[in-house]
Structures are given as structure tokens and as C-alpha cells.
Amino acid sequence: MLTTDTRTIYDEELNLFRDQVRKFFEKELIPNLDRWEEEGIVDRKFWRACGEAGLLCPGVPAEYGGLGLDFRYNAVIDEELAYAGSSAGITLQSDIVADYIANYGSEDQKREWLPKMVSGEVITAIAMTEPGAGSDLRGVRTTAKRDGNEYVVNGSKIYITNGQNADLVIVVAKTDPDAGSKGVSLILVEATRDGFKRGRNLDKIGQHSADTSELFFEDVRVPITNCLGQEGSGLPYLMMQLPQERLGIAVSGQAGAQRAFDEAVKFTKDRKAFGQTIFDFQNTRFTLGALKAKLQAGWAHLDWCIARHMEGKLSAAEASAAKLFHTELQWEACDTALQLHGGAGYMNEYPIARIWRDARVQRIYGGTSEVMKEMVARSI
């Protein structure tokens, strides 16, 4: 269990909220983890249960069916989900997609989609990455060309979280291929539209229960009112939302690092070799001691980042640094913890195996560690 006694950003109300989240996950999430891993997808029933429990899109204003809470509530959910060892895509919906629609959507778009996202009736995705375009979104080739009062969307996307479950997708597309960065727009595409097709549920190294898909758009027609915000403003919108997206990944990374550490401590204090526990060997104690020091610093830094974000001051460079630091720490903690498990760590029956393989992509999606270093360096 995550301890929050030394945290600086949470008050009694948030601690009570955390208790509710834990109890909900103990009942609705943890008993289903293994089955979802085997099936490669999280039940829609779980999404509806999250909605009923108030765990989806907590920041959505009350007028659109939400609770109107601040990002700290998202962070609590993110931490507990990551610590539980789940890769369910609810954080994408709550931390990323909801804010795009709430911040840039028309009144009709907000009233149509936000209440259904809060309830779990609608599952969403955001389609950025393409086979030939990853971190540099100026290279997207998907187009949305005007034809009268409609856009005609053509192209393909890959590595899309919630791709199999999604009812609504925010598609990053070029509405004016000749306008460079000013020609990119965000287009809402409903999964019921003719020409929208889902590819296979991709076979990944880890995060098996997270449905991650190819998406195809073949002459998909949507009304021009499906443009999210101003046409041609897609890249600025993406840049403005990246700090929260990367902060959310950092939150999950820190909690995942703590879970890996806790698993290592539990195992090494229980397992014996040469007449003593693994924990009693100096190498183990020094290794875990050094890692605990980094985790202590990590939690303090994370609280600083969340507080900065709450004040609207967290910069793109600071958010990039947070994602870099906390996901790299997560990988160090997971790999160290697996090593301390010895051969048992390579067995799927031990939680550390899934925790380890699920962590690897954290240093890739949302911007690779290398891109994060470049973003930080640009601020120097």
C-alpha cells in the first residue's frame, strides 16, 4: 500500500478519496487483472463501474456531469492504478482526452461527449502516432479534406491506446497539407462512421490488458462541426496539453517504482539463502537503501510538479524533466527488483514479472526519454 504520510499536496479530503479508490480497485480491478491480461482488453463493465464510482474524468465541470475536481484527484487515481499493477486506459480518458474536449470543444461537443465519458458509457482515444510519424507530429500524413459541410478523413494510425474499445477518437490530421504546422487540426471521429476500421489488437511486450490498436480511416465523412477547436490549431493545442499528459505518466512512473521496490523488500525479507534472508546480505541492503533514497527524492519532486501544475506554472520543459526522471527511476526500480528476485523474477506467477514488462514502454510513449532530454536541453 502506498504511504502518503510525508506527502505535501494531499489533505484529509484527498486521503479519504484515496481510500475509496483503493476499496474500489480491490473489488473491481485486482480480481480481474489476470483475466484481462489473458484477454488483452479491459471489460467495458469496469469502465461503467468506474463511472458510477466517480473515478472517470473527475476534473470535468459539474455542468457536464463531472465533479469539477482539481488534478490532484486524477493523480490519486493514477497512483493507485499504477501501484495496483494495472494498465487500464482510464487515465488516458481522464487525464488527456477529457481536457481536450473541455478546453477546446464547442458547447455542443462538450454536452454531447463529456457526460458520457464521465459515466463510462463512452470510451475515448486520441490518435496521434502513425507508422511514419511518432514524436514529431508535423510529419502526420492522415488528412481531413473539406468537402462541402464535411471533412473526408483518410489515413492510418498505430499504437492507439483504447483502440479496440474506443467509441470516439480525436484524430490528429492535416486539414491543409500545404500550411505546415498551421495545417494540423484535431477531428472528432465516431467509431460508428462508415470507413472507420480497427486493426488488430497489437501484440505487445507488456501492458497486455491495455487494448492497443491500429486504426484506419477510408473516406470517413464527418461534419465540419467535428473539428475540435479552431481548424489549423491542432499543434498548439497538443503542445498546451503535453505538460499534463507527461505529468500523468510521471505520476504513474513514480507509483510503479514504489510498487517494484515494495515487492523487492517483501521477497528478499522472506527468501533465504546460505542460512540468512536475501535482505540480510550487504549487497541487497545497499541496493535497496540507495533505491529508497531515490524514491524519497522522487516523491518530493513529484509533489513539487503537481503543485506547480495546480498553479498553472508547470512548463513544458519541467514536465518533460518529470517524465524523464520518474520513468527512468521506474525502470531502474523494476529491473533492480526483478534481479533481487533471482530466477523467481522471471516467472509470470510473481507480480514483479508483469510490473517489469509493463514499465518498459513508459520511457517511450508520451515522448521518448531521448526526446525528453532534448526538450529539457532547449530550455537551458
Q: What angle do CA 119, 120, 123 make, to 5 degrees?
A: 140
Cell of 169: 477518437
Alpha carbons within 13 angstroms on the beta-carbon side of residue 158 total 11
Q: Are 238 and 137 in contact (CB under 8 A)?
A: yes
As a whole number of angstroms, the distance between CA 43 and CA 249 comes to: 23
| SS3 (DSSP) at 165 | coil
Those residues whose C-beta lies under 8 Å from the C-beta of residue 35, and which sit 6 or more positions away, are: none
β-bridge partners, 169: 125, 189
The catalytic residue among 80, 245, 263, 318 is 245
Q: Where are the beta strands (DSSP E) in 149-301?
A: 150-161, 168-174, 184-190, 196-201, 212-223, 272-273, 276-277
As a whole number of angstroms, the distance between CA 302 and CA 325 comes to: 10
Angle at which helices 316-341 and 282-310 cross, to 10°? 160
Q: Which of 326, 352, 315, 314 is nearest to 252 (CA)?
A: 326
- Checking DSSP bridges between strand 168-174 and strand 124-127, what pairing results, if any? parallel
Q: Which of 302, 297, 181, 321 is nearest to 243 (CA)?
A: 321
245 catalytic per annotation: yes
Tracing cell 499504477 back to the chain, one arrives at 82
Catalytic residues: 245
